[in-house]
């Protein structure tokens, strides 16, 4: 059970934000000061994860809390693990292992990681894939809040999501993440009806449609890599697909729109971190864009499988038989991957 002190700390955290917002509504210099105070005290995913950590009983901590460099007997270094269907710990978020307050905190952390405009779409994905948020999901709290090394990890079917307040150096999203959706029947139709992430593939295919014959031949790749092969290859290993530097200005602008679409679901700080990591590794111009001929559902040449990859940037979209997306972004290709 959560202690009265931990419940009080959560209420104090949230009520402080509400009070500052109320002052801001008055306007004038006080409003400016209140805006600054609200920004300073507004809860973040990381601060809420700290509140959650504080609320756990010793028995709960024994099952879901781990040292920063904990190596799981099956999954390896837990804070860097990414998978398409896995549970970092056994207790289910929706189970009575967690109190109602703790379950609400886990949901609030999730909502602070995902942009509000995407909450309903993720809820649809989770309803289709596992019966709703918290069902089939598990969490891990790795490290200690306030120590400089602390991570919240949410896992389940089509879910690896994390936050760490930059505790893990050089990486975006706190480490590799995964998202996906089976909108029904496992083997989706060529237009992927109801799949909340399929518009990302349509955005990428708009770039392909703009390519000329030579560019298309370079962009099309026959061999489909293992979907979890998202380790960084740096500049020494060959990467398939057309170099982004070979795109015309209008094609390059369209690809920039694709990147915006890919980042759209995530909070501003993560979007900025991804772009920062990418720029430090040469930007989009140091990436390649590949469309895979294998797995073209319906043979309609709307490519279900595609990949944007640079020296320390991998966004792998597997659309057949349903959507799996693996994301690994850092500012150095020396960062190891655990997939």
Quick one: angle between helices 4-24 and 45-55, nearest 10?
Answer: 150
Look up tokens 């995530």; give the residue: 266
pTM: 0.89
Band of pLDDT at residue 12, cut at 50, 70 and 90: very low
pLDDT value, residue 202? 98
- The 10 Å Cβ neighbour count of residue 75 is 18
Measured CA to CA, the distance from residue 63 to residue 11 in angstroms comes to: 25
For 148, the enclosing helix (H) or strand (E) is none
pLDDT value, residue 30? 52
pLDDT value, residue 161? 98
Determine the average pLDDT of the residues in 292-308.
98
Tell whether the model's pLDDT for residue 172 goes beyond 70. yes
Band of pLDDT at residue 170, cut at 50, 70 and 90: confident
Measured CA to CA, the distance from residue 300 to residue 282 in angstroms comes to: 34
Domain regions of the chain by residue span: 43-168, 198-329
pLDDT per position as a tens digit, 194-233: 999 999 999 999 999 999 999 999 999 999 999 999 999 9
Of the listed ranges 19-23, 68-72, 219-223, 247-251, the least confidently predicted one is 19-23
Tell whether the model's pLDDT for residue 14 goes beyond 90. no
pLDDT value, residue 169? 77
Band of pLDDT at residue 185, cut at 50, 70 and 90: confident
Average pLDDT, the chain: 90
Measured CA to CA, the distance from residue 1 to residue 229 in angstroms comes to: 41
pLDDT per position as a tens digit, 128-143: 999 999 999 999 999 9
In sequence order, which residues have a C-beta less than 8 Å from that of residue 222 and are 6 or more positions away? 292, 293, 294
DSSP secondary structure of 223-254: SPPPTT-----TTTS---SEEGGGS-HHHHHH
Could you tell me the two tokens for 100? 């109602």
Measured CA to CA, the distance from residue 154 to residue 179 in angstroms comes to: 11
For 53, the enclosing helix (H) or strand (E) is helix 45-55
Query: Which own/partner contact pairs does 277-283 have at CB distance under 8 Å and 24+ positions apart?
Result: 277/170, 277/171, 277/172, 277/312, 277/313, 277/329, 277/330, 277/331, 278/310, 278/313, 278/329, 280/331, 280/332, 281/310, 281/311, 281/312, 281/313, 281/331, 281/332, 281/333, 282/310, 282/311
pLDDT value, residue 28? 53
Q: Which residues pair with 156 in a beta bridge?
A: 159
pLDDT per position as a tens digit, 64-119: 999 999 999 999 999 999 999 999 999 999 999 999 999 999 999 999 999 999 99
Of all residues in the chain, the percent with pLDDT exceeding 70 is: 88
Tell whether the model's pLDDT for residue 330 goes beyond 60. yes
Determine the average pLDDT of the residues in 172-182.
97
Tell whether the model's pLDDT for residue 287 goes beyond 60. yes
């Amino acid at each position: 059970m959560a202690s009265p002190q931990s419940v009080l700390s959560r209420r104090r955290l949230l009520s402080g934000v509400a009070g500052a917002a109320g002052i801001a509504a008055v306007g004038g210099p006080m409003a400016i000061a209140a805006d600054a105070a609200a920004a300073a005290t507004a809860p973040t995913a990381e601060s809420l994860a700290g509140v959650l950590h504080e609320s756990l009983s010793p028995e709960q901590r024994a099952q879901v809390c781990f040292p920063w460099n904990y190596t799981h007997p099956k999954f390896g270094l837990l804070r860097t693990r990414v998978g398409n269907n896995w549970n970092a710990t056994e207790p289910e978020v929706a189970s009575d292992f967690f109190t109602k307050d703790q379950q609400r905190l886990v949901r609030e952390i999730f909502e602070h990681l995902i942009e509000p405009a995407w909450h309903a779409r993720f809820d649809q994905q989770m309803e289709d894939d596992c019966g709703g948020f918290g069902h089939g999901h598990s969490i891990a709290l790795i490290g200690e809040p306030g120590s400089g090394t602390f991570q919240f990890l949410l896992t389940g079917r089509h879910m690896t999501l994390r936050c760490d307040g930059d505790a893990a150096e050089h990486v975006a999203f706190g480490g590799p993440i995964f998202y996906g959706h089976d909108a029904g029947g496992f083997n989706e139709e060529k237009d992927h009806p109801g799949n909340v992430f399929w518009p990302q593939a349509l955005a990428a295919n708009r770039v392909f449609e703009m390519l000329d014959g030579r560019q298309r031949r370079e962009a099309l790749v026959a061999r489909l890599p293992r979907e979890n092969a998202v380790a960084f290859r740096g500049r020494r290993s060959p990467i398939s697909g057309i170099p982004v530097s070979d795109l015309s200005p209008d094609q390059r602008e369209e690809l920039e729109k694709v990147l915006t679409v890919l980042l759209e679901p995530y909070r501003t700080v993560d979007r900025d971190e991804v772009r920062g990591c990418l720029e430090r590794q040469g930007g989009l111009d140091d990436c390649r864009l590949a469309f895979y001929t294998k797995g073209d559902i319906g043979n309609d040449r709307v490519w279900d499988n595609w990949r944007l990859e640079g020296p320390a940037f991998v966004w792998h979209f597997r659309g057949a038989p349903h959507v799996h997306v693996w994301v690994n972004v850092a500012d150095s290709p020396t960062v190891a991957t655990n997939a």
